[in-house]
Structure 1
Amino acid sequence: MKQNFTVRQGALDGVETFLAVARQRSFRRAAAALGVTPSAVSQAVRALEARLGAALFVRTTRNVGLTEAGQRFFERAAPAFAELIAAGEAARDLGQRPAGLLRLAVPRGVVPLILEPIIGPFCQAYPEIELEIAASDEMVDLAAGGFDAGIRFGQFIAADMVAVRLTAPFPFVVVGSPDYLRARKRPERIADLRDHACLRIRRANGSIAPWSFIDGNKTIEAIVAGPLVAHDYPTLLGAAIQGVGLAQVPAPIAKAPIADGRLRAVLTPFAVTTPGVFLYYSDRRQVLPKLRVFIEHVKLRNAAAPRGGTRKPKQTA
């Protein structure tokens, strides 16, 4: 049978006072050390003894000594209380200056594009912060996973999150290698994709994502087929460069291979635009200095662009 264990309210009341008296062997000297009156010390010790059900001190007119119960309590309470004080100081330290472990959950595809330019300057500016980047394309619960913040496409961030824009809105583009496009007729319409090898991505929930397009004011989700299913966009991009098929990927990660001729964009009139990439976290009031300075670092880096600032994005997916 499961038992319920709770910390009794006031369980630590009087412990600090007891330790002061035990060390000073005097109620008066303990009161002076604590900055309270001797009567307040006496009342706190009496209340602790009543709660424990045992006398902790032997009092005479000249001396104060520990009873056997008091000695046992002192031997175990003193180091425990010292650890509690140290724990409080450690927590207070992290709440007052940028230090400690900063854990970010990010998709693999954004690491080279967004984080790599930030990591070096940030780590140099804040050497007491240990930055951990957990690269995964799965949607994660920040609190359950022990993360300070995450980075995701704006349409996948819950509306109750606080978000900092990292990129401007950008399209998803369909790309293929020159060799692939020479071997097959270049698609001009969305319907032409039925004759092509289309590389697809599996979502975190297990479903295979359709390809999304805009035709005028109409949103179209095309069910495509092909020889490869991956869990991240860089894998799809690499396969498209190798000529395996067409891939629909975020435009920023395709920019370089398009520029150097390894890929060509197709169906660009139908490209759908996403809100962009955001850093997000759960509660503005709970932001520790380590995360606050990271957010400021990101803002400063993007200060020249009109996309900077914080907002709560509307949940669209």
Structure 2
Amino acid sequence: MRGTELSELSTFLAVARHRSFRKAATERGVAASAVSHTIRSLEERIGVRLIQRTTRSVTLTDAGERYLADLTPAFEQLARAQDGLNAFRATPFGTVRINVPTSIAPFAFRDVLGQLIEGNPGLKLDIVATDRLIDIVEEGFNAGIRFGEVLSRDMVAVRIRPVQRLIVVGSPSYFRSRLPPQHPRDLRQHIGIRYRYPSGAMFDWRFEQDGEVIVVQVEGPITLDDQDLMIEAALQGCGLAYVWEDRARPHLEAGTLHRCLQDWCQIKDDLFLYYPSRRHVSGALRVLIDRLKV
């Protein structure tokens, strides 16, 4: 099989997996027009329509579904064969595409990337940070990182590191006219900088002390979807923010933010790297797991 034909098949698999020419183009690092041209060339070469495309959707024909089912195990076998060559290399070779929540991406990879790449010159990392809940299989990722939530049974989860706790912070200017809350119930009298998930759901503030758990829905005029913006709003005295301690630490040390409800901010979540149990674990992914796990 020529390289051009192999590239066409890889492109078809990407489009079939994403059901999107644009997402397939992003995964392959090319323009959407190039993906469209490749699929058209493939269909002309084999003489069968594989993909139905409208302005709103991309679907597979019956022939496309059959082709996808036949090609997938073949490409998985090819990936295993390629990865088998790592046994003859000093360090792993290959690309790992991984998804991680934006809010904790810097913490998850802190003190990791430099040493990892320096020690494994054949390794390439494609890290996509988003707080959108995604299906790593459908979107072409080798692995993902999530908090200690329940993952589906067909996933292998590896604990990688504990996450800093979430804390409540406010600026000196905010507290000039208000007393700091002493109990989570006091937050009803305060202005909260709210966080909204990409799904549209609001993030509740959770507190725990001596086994008692309290969940608070704060009110305030500002709703954001980025922790750095929340910290910026808190620095400007717009209200109290509920953010990762690690993200707020420089401002706490500088005195530009003060924490409150410290005895109630005990909840911590572990981080897990997860990947499909039925997928081959490449040497490149293995070295990343070994570097991240606790």
What range describes the TM-score normalised by the shorter chain of this pair?
Answer: 0.5 to 0.7
Kindly indicate whether the alpha-carbon contact (under 8 Å) linking 1:199 and 1:226 is maintained by their aligned counterparts in 2: yes
Q: Which runs of 5+ in 1 are unaligned?
A: 12-84, 300-307, 309-317
Q: Does 1:94 align with 2:88?
A: no
2:172 matched to which residue of 1? 178
1:260 paired residue among 248, 254, 259: 254
2:202 matched to which residue of 1? 208
- Superposed displacement of residue 149, structure 1: 1.1
**Which whole-Å deviations, capped at 9, do the CAs of 1:15-45 have from their partners, x for residues lacking one?**
xxxxxxxxxxxxxxxxxxxxxxxxxxxxxxx
- Superposed displacement of residue 174, structure 1: 0.7
- Superposed displacement of residue 162, structure 1: 2.4
Kindly indicate whether the alpha-carbon contact (under 8 Å) linking 2:166 and 2:245 is maintained by their aligned counterparts in 1: yes
Q: Which amino acid aligns with 2:242?
A: Q
- Superposed displacement of residue 137, structure 1: 0.9
- Residues in 2 aligned to 1:187 and 1:137: alpha-carbon distance in whole angstroms: 29
Q: Which amino acid aligns with 1:123?
A: I
Identity of aligned residues (%): 34
When the two structures are superposed, what TM-score results if normalisation uses the length of structure 1?
A: 0.63
When the two structures are superposed, what TM-score results if normalisation uses the length of structure 2?
A: 0.67
Q: Does 1:234 align with 2:223?
A: no
**Which whole-Å deviations, capped at 9, do the CAs of 1:29-64 have from their partners, x for residues lacking one?**
xxxxxxxxxxxxxxxxxxxxxxxxxxxxxxxxxxxx
Q: Which 10-residue stretch deviates more, 212-221 or 129-138?
A: 212-221
Kindly indicate whether the alpha-carbon contact (under 8 Å) linking 1:96 and 1:289 is maintained by their aligned counterparts in 2: no
**Which whole-Å deviations, capped at 9, do the CAs of 1:193-225 have from their partners, x for residues lacking one?**
122110111123311122111244232211111
Q: Which 10-residue stretch deviates more, 141-150 or 280-289?
A: 280-289
1:125 paired residue among 115, 119, 128: 119
Kindly indicate whether the alpha-carbon contact (under 8 Å) linking 1:108 and 1:234 is maintained by their aligned counterparts in 2: no
Q: Does 1:165 align with 2:159?
A: yes
2:32 matched to which residue of 1? none
Q: Which amino acid aligns with 2:232?
A: G
Q: Does 1:153 align with 2:147?
A: yes
**Which whole-Å deviations, capped at 9, do the CAs of 1:107-140 have from their partners, x for residues lacking one?**
2232322314211111122222221110111111
Instruction: Pick closer, same or farther for the CA change 1:87–1:296 going to 2, 3 Å.
Output: closer
2:109 matched to which residue of 1? 115
1:194 matched to which residue of 2? 188
Q: Which 10-residue stretch deviates more, 130-139 or 109-118?
A: 109-118
Equivalent residue pairs, number = 224
Kindly indicate whether the alpha-carbon contact (under 8 Å) linking 2:162 and 2:268 is maintained by their aligned counterparts in 1: no
Q: Does 1:136 align with 2:130?
A: yes
Q: Secondary structure at the match of 2:193?
A: strand
Q: Does 1:106 align with 2:95?
A: no
Q: Which 10-residue stretch deviates more, 194-203 or 93-102?
A: 93-102
Q: Which amino acid aligns with 1:92?
A: A
Kindly indicate whether the alpha-carbon contact (under 8 Å) linking 1:150 and 1:279 is maintained by their aligned counterparts in 2: yes
1:281 matched to which residue of 2? 275
- Residues in 2 aligned to 1:89 and 1:205: alpha-carbon distance in whole angstroms: 37
Instruction: Pick closer, same or farther for the CA change 1:193–1:146 going to 2, 3 Å.
Output: same
Larger CA Rg, structure 1 vs 2: 1
Kindly indicate whether the alpha-carbon contact (under 8 Å) linking 2:80 and 2:282 is maintained by their aligned counterparts in 1: no
- Residues in 1 aligned to 2:185 and 2:133: alpha-carbon distance in whole angstroms: 31
2:50 matched to which residue of 1? none
Q: Which amino acid aligns with 2:189?
A: D
Kindly indicate whether the alpha-carbon contact (under 8 Å) linking 1:177 and 1:242 is maintained by their aligned counterparts in 2: yes
Q: Does 1:250 align with 2:275?
A: no
- Residues in 2 aligned to 1:276 and 1:106: alpha-carbon distance in whole angstroms: 14
Instruction: Pick closer, same or farther for the CA change 1:287–1:88 going to 2, 3 Å.
Output: closer
Q: Which amino acid aligns with 1:281?
A: Y
1:292 paired residue among 268, 286, 292: 286
Kindly indicate whether the alpha-carbon contact (under 8 Å) linking 2:154 and 2:278 is maintained by their aligned counterparts in 1: no
Kindly indicate whether the alpha-carbon contact (under 8 Å) linking 2:192 and 2:241 is maintained by their aligned counterparts in 1: yes
Instruction: Pick closer, same or farther for the CA change 1:181–1:128 going to 2, 3 Å.
Output: same
- Residues in 2 aligned to 1:194 and 1:227: alpha-carbon distance in whole angstroms: 14
RMSD between aligned residues: 2.9
